[in-house]
Amino acid sequence: MFRCECNTTARRLPDSGAALYEQLADLVRRGRVEWVHFCAAGMDGQMFIPLIRAAHAAGIKMTYCPGVYATPIAQYVIAHVLSCTRMLREHAEQQASKTWAPLMQRDPRGAVVGVVGAGGIGNEVARMATALGMRSIGWRRRAGSFGSFEDIFTGEEGLDALLMESDFVVVAVPNTPQTRKERPLGRTLGNSGCTITFSSNSPAPSTSPAMSSMKEFSTATLIQFV
């Protein structure tokens, strides 16, 4: 354990997250830290960079928490699915305006949830979706165990098949140079009207091919970010 002897607390600074990690990096550079643990599912966040560089230069151990956020992220994804099918946003708008009109809701049972990236987060999404009566299908680069998925697709043709079959698409791939260069998803999705949800550690939606292609090919698709 160590005590941070910083005169200005991170919460008072404009970018508290970045400031905190810069202060921690300074402690590492002073030789006062022997082990850095990141409470995150990935270590690619920009605010982590100063601390990672300092720890690497000092040759100290770095660890992180793969899989620890699978359940809360999956819960958030399922919340969006239920919000869309049960029109919770529209209900909230009616409540705020003190009006009421019948809304044509959808039963999520039987809906197909396609997960691009069938790892820990994707598998937990599939488990929760299946428990609510939805069908869960996944895609990964290489074949593997099905886990909580009804079916697993691989390869380019498999990705096309998953996208065409899905009512909801969850992008849960890690943020790597390979995934940032993935081919666009929008041309396959067309105007299917399916919902896309990006998990927190996936490539940034503002720069991903999926996002840019959606703008061009599918005005009916709702894009939500976790």
SS3 142: coil
The string of pLDDT tens digits covering residues 32-60 is 899 999 887 666 677 888 999 999 999 99
Q: What is the pLDDT of residue 143?
A: 80
Tokens 């165990």 -> residue: 145
Q: What is the pLDDT of residue 191?
A: 39
Residue 88 tokens read as 């919770």
Q: What is the pLDDT of residue 197?
A: 59
Q: Closest by alpha carbon to 110, among 128, 137, 134?
A: 134
The string of pLDDT tens digits covering residues 129-185 is 999 999 999 998 888 788 899 999 998 888 888 888 888 888 887 766 666 555 555
Q: Is the pTM of this model over 0.75?
A: no
Q: Label each residue of 72-111 as H, E or C.
A: HHHHHHHHHHHHHHCCHHHHHHHHHHCCCCCCCCCCCCCC
Q: What share of the chain is helix, strand, coil (3-state, %, to 5)?
A: 40, 15, 45
Could you tell me if residue 50 is inside a domain? yes
Question: Are 25 and 80 found together in one domain?
Answer: no
Could you tell me if residue 3 is inside a domain? no
Asked if 185 and 160 touch (Cβ cutoff 8 Å), the reply is no
Tokens 């049972």 -> residue: 109
Partners of 115 in the β-ladder: 138, 170
Q: What is the pLDDT of residue 185?
A: 54
Asked if 43 and 21 touch (Cβ cutoff 8 Å), the reply is no
Q: What is the pLDDT of residue 212?
A: 42
Question: Are 49 and 153 found together in one domain?
Answer: no
Question: Are 205 and 187 found together in one domain?
Answer: yes
The string of pLDDT tens digits covering residues 102-123 is 998 989 999 999 998 888 889 9
- The CATH number given to whatever domain includes residue 174 is 3.40.50.720
Question: Are 117 and 219 found together in one domain?
Answer: yes
Alpha-carbon distance of 2 to 136, in angstroms, equals 45
Confidence of residue 199 (pLDDT cuts 50, 70, 90): low
- Is 183 or 71 the better-scoring residue by pLDDT? 71
Instruction: Give the range of the structural domain holding residue 195, as residue numbers without chain letter.
Output: 70-225
Could you tell me if residue 2 is inside a domain? no
Number of structural domains, the chain? 2
Residue 45 tokens read as 């966040």
How many beta carbons lie within 10 A of that of residue 97, not counting itself?
A: 8
Q: What is the pLDDT of residue 138?
A: 94
Could you tell me if residue 192 is inside a domain? yes
Q: What is the pLDDT of residue 35?
A: 93
Asked if 73 and 126 touch (Cβ cutoff 8 Å), the reply is no
Q: What is the pLDDT of residue 6?
A: 35
